[in-house]
Structure 1
Amino acid sequence: MYQKTDIPDIFLKIMNFIDSHTHAYMLSGRDLELMGLSGVNTAVLCSFVPVAKYAETLMDHFTELDTVHRARLSEYGITAHIFVGIHPRCIPEEWRRLLPIIGECIEAGKAKGIGEIGLEKANETEIEVLKEQLILAREYDVPVIVHIPMQNRAKITDKILSMANEVGMDLGKLVVDHTDDDTIDLINEANAVPGLSVKPGLLTPEKIATNIDKYRNGLLNSDCASLTNTDPLAVPKTARHLMKAGIEKAIVERLSNRNAQNILKG
């Protein structure tokens, strides 16, 4: 279907990449420099703190993303779009106190959307926390980045999609991240947005190229963080592979830039 052509590497050097899901606030200056030099000029910073027993921990984290890391990424030529939320792996005891704080971040223009949120074990608390944040997203009409785990992925993806429908959220603003061949059809059929994390154990550039029709509406990202085995250059490397595999320039641009632009502009 897609004609294979030789694309010169110089094309990659003039592309503007958006990494649509990162924890780049954890990265070294060298990693950020490499991202900027490789054409990643925009990165979404998703909030996540490995240990957050107290609501104040996440409050401080939200402030840090806006006042410290936005400027830090800018030093390397990277525009940061901040998403704030309660990750299912770090739900504080008094998590309800964070809901108005998330709203205030959005109202003040400090946050572009809500994330990273989602389900890990899909227990009662996680479901309640996710539901309240999906309601916030509906009320503020902002995009959401949701996490799905490595186990029971299809079942949990279906649960998240159903919850978003139940609260009346626009599924065109629901990015279901960490998708793979086991969940892509569910996400596409629901008219939600596939988040394409290129990282060990999940998607590879080869898999995306082979199934480009299924993945063409997705948002490429690295999910990069110092705590995990991830590659801050996953987006430009994937774009390079796709072009060498003969995928059309327009589709590569959509995956690595335009689709994310459409989500970020609201």
Structure 2
Amino acid sequence: MNTNNMMFIDPHIHMTSRTTDDYARMRQAGIVAIIEPAFWLGQPRTEVGSFKDYYSSLVGWERFRASQFGIRHYCTIGLNSKEANNEELAEQVMELLPLFVYKEGVVGIGEIGYDDQTAAEDKYYRLQLELAKEVNMPVQIHTPHRDKKAGTIRSMEVCIEHGIDPGMVIVDHNNEETVKDTLDRGFWAAFTIYPNSKMGNERMAEIVKQYGTERIMINSAADWGISDPLSVPKTAALMLQRGISQEDVRMVCYQNALTAFGQSGQIKESDWLEPMKVDQTAKFSDNSVLRGGQTPVVGDASTGSDLTDIIVK
């Protein structure tokens, strides 16, 4: 079976790290909407202005760049756990966050949580949970790579301690070790499909067979490391091949992400079901996705349309 005519949402993908060609290929593969969480950039930021410009790009340039290929771009805004350990800078970022969480297209606070599970990480995680309560936004949690099970449970326990409804929290980077604990506590369980690490798509198919589709979603988290921005549609195709129904695939590759982040009031299905016009003659801050000699595409990029001219071959 194939995924023709299926729509997908990638609810965790770092497009700042990807090329414009990736947007074209993602749209061709059926991805209609994405959510880009704020995260660290591989090396420490040293000035609060760097955060301000980064957050501005998430609600500005990246939304524009995605739209040039018929994809709706949303984001979550937060102080990443790794960067919370620079407390002097973290204090300044906390003052910055309220300026961005109300921006158009912001669907949650994230990705936040623990990395090394330090006291500073705990402090700023809790402060951001309080911000999420204040603005009534979903929370997107980054679970630690080390001591994952304990860190995942701790992340959820702190949410409950702060009075956060588990149904408003997307716990990301789950695996076989954490999924039952996450689901049993009523949280959303997100899985990152990474080549050769984290969660492979064959393992993901087995998890869906075992646990079903309730409160489960998948993403690519594609960033500047070895990753694949087509992980969601590729995993969908594999699940269909493994006998998982098309409706179940739709739930974990589309509907659950829409339901969870839709609680923000900032993302709804009608955003992309209406015919979306692509106009590559448009510019953002006097910048175009095109380079010298490239012909702009102007046309309909709605589901089922012929995108041949938009895709980079």
State the TM-score, normalizing by the size of structure 2. Answer: 0.79
Which stretches in structure 1 are left out of the alignment for 5+ residues? 1-6
Q: Note the C-alpha offset of 1:55.
A: 2.2
Aligned to 1:28: 19
Aligned to 1:248: 245
Q: Does 1:205 align with 2:207?
A: no
Aligned amino acid, residue 261 of structure 2: L
Which whole-Å deviations, capped at 9, do the CAs of 1:51-108 have from their partners, x for residues lacking one? 2222221111111111111100111111011111011122342312323432232224
8 Å contact kept, 1:184–1:215: no
Q: Note the C-alpha offset of 1:144.
A: 1.3
For these two proteins, the number of residue pairs brought into alignment is: 256
Aligned amino acid, residue 45 of structure 2: A
Q: Note the C-alpha offset of 1:134.
A: 0.9
Aligned to 1:48: 39
Q: Does 1:101 align with 2:96?
A: yes
Separation in 2, partners of 1:144, 1:188: 16
Aligned to 1:219: 217
Aligned to 1:264: 261
Aligned to 2:273: none
Separation in 2, partners of 1:63, 1:258: 28
Separation in 1, partners of 2:220, 2:251: 16
8 Å contact kept, 1:53–1:90: no
Which stretches in structure 2 are left out of the alignment for 5+ residues? 264-313
Separation in 2, partners of 1:132, 1:245: 43
Separation in 2, partners of 1:52, 1:139: 27
1:191 is aligned, of 186, 206, 219, to: 186
Aligned to 1:84: 77
Q: Which runs of 4+ in 1 moved over 4 A?
A: none
Separation in 2, partners of 1:73, 1:108: 17
RMSD of aligned Cα (Å): 1.4
- Identify the range of structure 1 (101-110 vs 143-152) with the bigger mean alpha-carbon deviation: 101-110
Larger Rg: 2
1:236 is aligned, of 217, 233, 239, to: 233
Label 1:29 to 1:108 Cα distance change in 2 as closer, same or farther (>3 A).
Answer: closer
8 Å contact kept, 1:38–1:236: yes
8 Å contact kept, 1:177–1:195: yes
Separation in 2, partners of 1:95, 1:84: 14
Separation in 2, partners of 1:253, 1:191: 21
- Identify the range of structure 1 (206-215 vs 193-202) with the bigger mean alpha-carbon deviation: 206-215
Aligned amino acid, residue 52 of structure 2: M
8 Å contact kept, 1:49–1:58: no
Report the structure, 1 or 2, having the larger helix content.
1
Which whole-Å deviations, capped at 9, do the CAs of 1:185-244 have from their partners, x for residues lacking one? 11011100111100131112211222223262212100001x211100000000000011
Aligned amino acid, residue 46 of structure 1: P
Q: Does 1:162 align with 2:157?
A: yes
2:118 is aligned, of 114, 117, 123, to: 123
- Identify the range of structure 1 (165-174 vs 198-207) with the bigger mean alpha-carbon deviation: 198-207
Which whole-Å deviations, capped at 9, do the CAs of 1:125-150 have from their partners, x for residues lacking one? 00001011111111211111111122
- Identify the range of structure 1 (125-134 vs 100-109) with the bigger mean alpha-carbon deviation: 100-109
State the TM-score, normalizing by the size of structure 1. Answer: 0.92
Label 1:211 to 1:49 Cα distance change in 2 as closer, same or farther (>3 A).
Answer: closer
Which whole-Å deviations, capped at 9, do the CAs of 1:22-44 have from their partners, x for residues lacking one? 10121111111111110111010
Percent identity reads 24
- In the TM superposition, 1:129-140 aligns within 5 A as 129-140=124-135
1:74 is aligned, of 55, 61, 67, to: 67
Separation in 1, partners of 2:207, 2:60: 40
Aligned amino acid, residue 155 of structure 1: A
